[in-house]
Structure 1
Amino acid sequence: MASSSRSVPAFVRLAGHPLRWQLLAELASSDLRVRELVARVGEPQNLVSYHLRLLRDEGLVTAGRSSFDGRDTYYHLDLDRCADGLTGAGAALHPALHPALRTTRSGSAGDPLPPGPDDRPAVLFVCTGNSARSPIAEALLRAHAAEAVTVISAGSAPRPQLHPDAVRVLRDDYGIDVADARPRHLDTLTGRRFDFVITLCDKAREVCPEFGAASRRMHWSVADPSGGGPTVFSRTAADIDTRVRHLLPVLTTTSPKEAVS
């Protein structure tokens, strides 16, 4: 009998477990709390927590305290780390598979999406003040997607103006000028249709209204960078940019009516 000294790659061992694969699949589209994962996979909380810990130990999943309720923890899937794991597994099987699963990394936006039809996806980003996280997401998606999507942002309690560090980081790090933009209230969008409604603030997630039965709700648990200074804003913008890049294929390949979460 032939034998091999090559061990199974860590990503394959982890992702190959049916429950862990379910957890990865659920977290691929939205940051979620343990009780939400328990409800979605239909398994006991202690079992879900155990497998989440294994995924966290390997760096595939990260955890952060909710800014709305400190007793809650949001879990987030690191899709770039998953891409690295898939690439490594492919290379371990055969060298020819090494480049096949590479994804565009931060710092390179790649080619913009082609112009979409008149019914192109409509995306709404929401946070509380609409002064930092959601306008950063709006600007980055508009830059990446060109005319392929309609995108706007709003807040549940908007501030008078954009945070100056949000304006700076978009200008200096991404070449995007939003100096003339102003925060808007969610109430001004009443009656609008959005295919994707994405909250970036744990508090805003709890109060965000519905925008049509067919809209897909997603949550990105991103800490408020306000008060943290330029370095914190740069890290926050980089995190949002990564999430936006991973959103692009979802916008072009997923029908919101078929993927309401």
Structure 2
Amino acid sequence: MPEKKEKISVLVLCTGNSCRSQMAEAWIRHFHGDRITVYSAGIEAHGLNPYAVKVMEEAGVPLSGHASKTIDELPVKEFDYVITVCDHAREACPYFPARVKVLHRGFDDPPSLTRDETDEERRLAVYRRVRDEIREFARTLPAFLGLSDQGA
């Protein structure tokens, strides 16, 4: 009987853990929860973004049960991979032991892009675009991590 592989652990890190990292955590769990244990956190905790919650609900991968948190609030502190999803998190990324692979895949920040947008549909369109970009990234995450033998 083949030995069961241990799950790899991934931390998705962003500035406020309110939008992009939350979406990435949900998508990674959706596509790869059987082989990847995923967490998300922020350099700071800004609370869940209601537009991110809305567009993820539309896609059928709700953020229910999610909460905005910092790394210090996570139940674990050791990861195989840390993926920063914004430039600020990449620049302010805390130190991780040498065995941890820190990677970057940046995404646009919907709250910043829509700060002055008054039209609800145009605002949501930006969130949906970023959600879909993150979904595609999450779907292909094993290849991004060089784990193509684990499938996608």
Scaled by the length of structure 1, what TM-score is found? Answer: 0.49
The yes-or-no answer on 1:127 pairing with 2:21 is: no
Match of 2:32 in 1: 145
**1:84-134 alpha-carbon deviations (Å, 9 max, x no partner):** xxxxxxxxxxxxxxxxxxxxxxxxxxxxxxxx63x3110000101100000
Residue-pair matches, total: 136
Q: Counterpart of 1:165 in structure 2: which amino acid?
A: Y
Map 1:1-261 onto structure 2 (within 5 A).
Answer: 117=5, 119-159=6-46, 161-173=47-59, 175-189=60-74, 192-226=77-111, 228=114, 229-249=123-143, 250=145, 252-253=147-148
**1:35-82 alpha-carbon deviations (Å, 9 max, x no partner):** xxxxxxxxxxxxxxxxxxxxxxxxxxxxxxxxxxxxxxxxxxxxxxxx
Unaligned runs of 5+ in 2: 115-122
Q: Residue 191 of structure 1 contacts residue 211 of structure 1 at CA under 8 Å; is this kept in 2?
A: no
Distance 1:224 1:143 in 2: 22
Unaligned runs of 5+ in 1: 1-115, 255-261
* Partner secondary structure for residue 177 of structure 1: coil
Distance 1:194 1:204 in 2: 16
Q: What percentage of residue pairs aligned between the two structures are identical? A: 35
Pairwise CA distance, 1:252: 3.4
Q: Which runs of 4+ in 1 moved over 3 A?
A: 249-254
Which has the larger Rg? Answer: 1
**RMSD, matched Cα:** 2.0
Scaled by the length of structure 2, what TM-score is found? Answer: 0.81
Distance 1:147 1:210 in 2: 28
